[in-house]
Structure 1
Amino acid sequence: MEWLKLIGILIIIIGFLVKMDTIAIILIAAIVTGLVSDMDFSTILATLGKAFVDQRLVTLFILTLPVVGLIERFGLKKQASNLIGKIDKITSGRLLTLYLLLREVAGVASIRINGHPQFVRPLINPMTQSALRTKYGLTNQQVDEKDIDKIKAKTSAVENYGNFFGQNLFIGSAGVLLMVGTFKSLHIKVNAVDLVLASLPVAIITLVIVWISNISFDRYLERKYGRSKRGDEE
């Protein structure tokens, strides 16, 4: 009968296969698992409520969604594009490399400026697109839709790189403290400073690889749009 308590996993798998609502699937799986574990309904609700309260920081991103809507409504996205539009020598690749550098430096200071909905979508993505249009004197219609998708993908990827490889550059970050606690439970003596020093070379290597990739992306854009610009000038 102990295996019956794993029925929640089966419910989640089936729910995802039939494309049911994610939250509904999880709640159903949790309630069914509690019932087959001889928990009364009030205890199940109390357990779910406690878990929600204990992990309430995870849901704080919901509060940022109205903020993103407001800043886009009042023109921050447009102003960011206009700002980049005034800088002639900036390229899409250079801007992405600069953002990754700022993300990693911010990670060292434990400053959280990141987030796809909060930062990348309303600011970094339009700024990178504006850099492309400004560099080659293009209108929105002259930019290939595939290249717009590539820029969206690269801005999201750079955010992921900065978050993943930069989050352990601060000795008080959650990831570093979790690893210290895990090693301690295994009777392995490791301190937070050692983990940060081990993470630093990885962050630098990531920055170099992304920089090279962005140079390649700039060259691709130059081959594709540079000819048309030179043709217009002639």
Structure 2
Amino acid sequence: MSYWPLIGIALVVAGFALRLNPLLVVAGSALVTGLLGGLGLVPVIEALGKAFNDNRYISLTWIILPVIGLLERHGLQQQARCLIATVRGATMGRLLVLYLGFRQITAALGMKDIGGHPQAVRPLIAPMAEAAAERTHGPLDAAERDKVRAMAAATDNIGLFFGEDIFFAIASILLIQGVFETQGYELTPLQLSVWAIPSAVCAFFLHGGRLLAFDRRLARRARLPGRAA
């Protein structure tokens, strides 16, 4: 068994740590992994092209964006802010922890498209998180507002990424099964899904802790002298 193809994983980690372009990092790592795995350059490029062609959702994006734009034009974000402002005890951290759990559970049930950045985070989750933060901690400056929005987007990513592998009929589980099968390990999709549960639970507590810690940092900064009330 050759372990050289695992260098591709190290390249992904290094590329993300250096904040390089994610598309270039993933594509470059895929090329290196394929070449070290014994494939030629042309078969690797063919595999990348086939994967892109089989999983493209460009037409779906063109349907979603006008709908979201129309809803925002008619005050969807403002209504989301007003709604969260009426909920007693709602904070930015608690709201995003709740959304994290919702995203993981729905993804685990196969409903991975029920959330997402264009249809959920931008028009609903991020404005509600901002409103909750302002309600409990006062006005936010530009850096804090961007951080809240980034946390909302990260929550969606983490919830989907670690939740979808629990659903045994997802493409990623079938891909993992195929890789193990080529190495002589006969595993069913259900077995792989079960072992994805501990990772999802750990991700929930780790990211949930980050969200609550960020909420506490906002509270401390709000109490600093000179901050606008």
TM-score, scaled to structure 1:
0.69
* Paired letter, 2:70: L
Say whether residues 1:143 and 2:140 are aligned partners.
yes
* Paired letter, 2:148: I
Q: Which runs of 4+ in 1 moved over 4 A?
A: 50-54
Alpha-carbon distance in structure 1 between the residues aligned to 2:147 and 2:201: 24
Bigger CA radius of gyration: 1
Alpha-carbon distance in structure 2 between the residues aligned to 1:157 and 1:58: 21
After superposition, where does 1:41-190 map in structure 2 within 5 Å? Answer: 54-55=53-54, 57-59=56-58, 60-111=60-111, 112-136=113-137, 138=138, 142-190=139-187
Alpha-carbon distance in structure 2 between the residues aligned to 1:95 and 1:53: 34
Q: CA 1:203/1:52 → structure 2, altered by over 3 Å: closer, same or farther?
A: closer
Alpha-carbon distance in structure 1 between the residues aligned to 2:185 and 2:51: 32
Instruction: Decide whether the 8 Å contact of 1:88 with 1:135 is kept in 2.
Output: no
Give the root-mean-square deviation of aligned CA atoms.
2.7
The structure with the greater share of residues assigned to helix is 1
* Paired letter, 1:135: T
Structure 2: 5+ residue stretches without partners: 1-41
Deviation at 1:61, TM superposition (A): 2.2
Structure 1: 5+ residue stretches without partners: 1-36, 38-46
Alpha-carbon distance in structure 2 between the residues aligned to 1:77 and 1:85: 12
TM-score, scaled to structure 2:
0.71
Say whether residues 1:196 and 2:197 are aligned partners.
no
Deviation at 1:51, TM superposition (A): 6.3
* Paired letter, 2:57: V
Q: Deviations over 1:69-88 (max 9, x none)?
A: 11111222111111101013
Q: Deviations over 1:8-50 (max 9, x none)?
A: xxxxxxxxxxxxxxxxxxxxxxxxxxxxx9xxxxxxxxx9xx9
Seq. identity, %? 34
Deviation at 1:182, TM superposition (A): 2.8
Say whether residues 1:220 and 2:221 are aligned partners.
no
Deviation at 1:52, TM superposition (A): 10
Instruction: Choose 106-115 or 192-201, whichever is displaced more.
Output: 106-115
SS at match of 2:57: helix
